[in-house]
Chains A and B, each alone.
Chain A
């Protein structure tokens, strides 16, 4: 089944404790992206990647890191999480060109206390 697998689904952590949210797709998609969704706001892009070893900042990159060492994986790293990073996170992937719809992962609800 074609899918984007995101883990974990839920995570509660403490301020400053490094964490990684994993994202993997099995569709051989070139394009991958991370979003956060907060109440009353649309999806906001954190980072995106056009292909292996090619990443770039989205609208709200501060406090996040990503890597794209393999085509299928695009982990999101929070080196020192803070409470303002409490949010719902989605990973998404797409085929070449943005004329293709995005496939989203199931989301990660992160709480930083």
Chain B
């Protein structure tokens, strides 16, 4: 994989359900993997920066895992709430940040 790919592109989730989505990145020359939340009409906000294979990070109901050997990271949201509606961006760093196109998450009440 030459680029950073995120899937799915968009996701509708019922309020209260848990969900997850994927970021795939080149596994060679890994340095760091970033996750950001980008709410409409705001600027991207850093969630996690992950650097070690097997790393797991958590912030409230949101957590992320990292597999640098196979080149993927998962972002999990437990018990989705309306305020979780946003686009979630990941970015891979080996020298510069290369950004994925994002997963747009919409929480249905």
A interface majority secondary structure: loop
Contact A90 B4, beta carbon cutoff 8 Å: no
Contact A106 B43, beta carbon cutoff 8 Å: yes
Residues of B in contact with A, size category: 20 to 34
Assuming the A-B contacts A98-B93, A102-B34, are A42 and B44 also in contact, with contact meaning beta carbons closer than 8 angstroms in the complex?
A: no
With beta carbons under 8 angstroms apart, the residue of B44, B48, B100, B101 that contacts A90 is: B44
Q: How far is the CB of A79 from chain B (nearest CB, A)?
A: 24
Assuming the A-B contacts A42-B4, A43-B89, A43-B99, are A99 and B46 also in contact, with contact meaning beta carbons closer than 8 angstroms in the complex?
A: no
Query: Within the assembled complex, what's the spacing in Å between the Cα atoms of A102 and B36?
Result: 9
List the 7 shortest-distance A-B pairs measured between CB atoms, nearest first.
A101-B46, A104-B43, A42-B99, A43-B99, A98-B93, A42-B101, A104-B44
